[in-house]
Amino acid sequence: MTSPLSLRHFFLALAVVAVWGTNFVVIKVALGDLPPLLFAALRFILVFLPAAVVFPRPSVFLGNLALYGILIGVGQFGLLYIAMNGLISPGIASLVIQSQVFFTIGLAAWLAGERIRIHQYLALLLATGGVALLIYHTDGTTTVGGLGLVLCAALSWAGANMAAKIGRPDNMMAYVVWSSAFAIPPLLLLSLAFDGPEAIRLAFGQMSMFSWLAVAWQAWGNTLFGYVAWGWLLARYPTTTIAPMALLVPIFGIGASTLLLGESLPSWKLAAASFVMVGLALNLLWPRLRAWLQSR
């Protein structure tokens, strides 16, 4: 039987998903001062440098640690930041990135032979319909290229999930911290190659206090607080109690982008978001609903 969240722990989980959702607005604003790949590199530098003193290196193969770091650092956040630098709105990015759920299911079926259930096929169909609607109605704030980059970022995230599944780290926070060391060099090299030394120099010269706070928020608020609090909750409650809270991430993302950045929400965008959210909810909640129906 699923254990109910205490009120205090419910608000802690809500704080985590609020941080993760509204973080997309923080990314968008900070990209006004920072080139995307440099921004990503700074994020992982601040994740690694202070926390590596506290968390010992996890006992996993270095190759696995490097794979996770590159997939998360370059694949997920590098591509996401590039996409959000004028190619996709924060609200839609926070929604489309959740397609990692379905990529993870597909990779698990392909690499680990896990069986895909009927409700998962239906959930994927619904979510794909929502993304297809976004592609059909692309406007100035959301482009086909931006959607493609975020979908690739979601695929990289799914690949990182599989790397973690294979690595089986005993401390996920230490795994995230130490894998960041492998994300930093390629991000810096890519920034030099694509942003250019002059753009990097100008970025450091014009960075405002908000930009530095945004980088720190990415590292310490989004990554360290989010992972530590989420892991702490998962250790104390069944996954089926905590995981559904993640469905609120796109809600916070779209809401914050609408309220703070004035992102428009025409009916087609709301319909597309509904398709994706229903697909995510079906994938996550159907086993619980089926178990409840069978117990009646």
What's the confidence (pLDDT) of residue 3?
58
Angle between helices 209-216 and 7-30 (to 10 degrees): 130
CA 129, distance to chain mean position in Å, is: 21
pLDDT digits (tens, 9 = 90+) for 16-73: 999 999 999 999 999 999 999 999 999 999 999 989 999 999 999 999 999 999 999 9
- Alpha-carbon gap, residue 195 to 39, rounded angstroms: 11
DSSP tag of 59:
S
* Cβ-based neighbour number of residue 20 at 10 Å: 21
Would you list the domain boundaries of the chain? 7-295
CA-to-CA dists, residue 196 to 15, 22, 203, angstroms:
37, 30, 11
pLDDT digits (tens, 9 = 90+) for 221-266: 998 898 888 878 877 887 667 877 888 889 999 999 999 999 888 8
What's the confidence (pLDDT) of residue 1?
43
Structure tokens at 125: 């169909």
pLDDT at residue 83 tops 90: yes
Q: Which of 16, 147, 169 is nearest to 93 (CA)?
A: 147
pTM: 0.90
pLDDT digits (tens, 9 = 90+) for 137-195: 877 788 999 999 999 999 999 999 999 989 989 888 899 999 999 999 999 999 999 98
By residue count, the chain amounts to 296
For the chain, percent of residues with pLDDT exceeding 70: 98
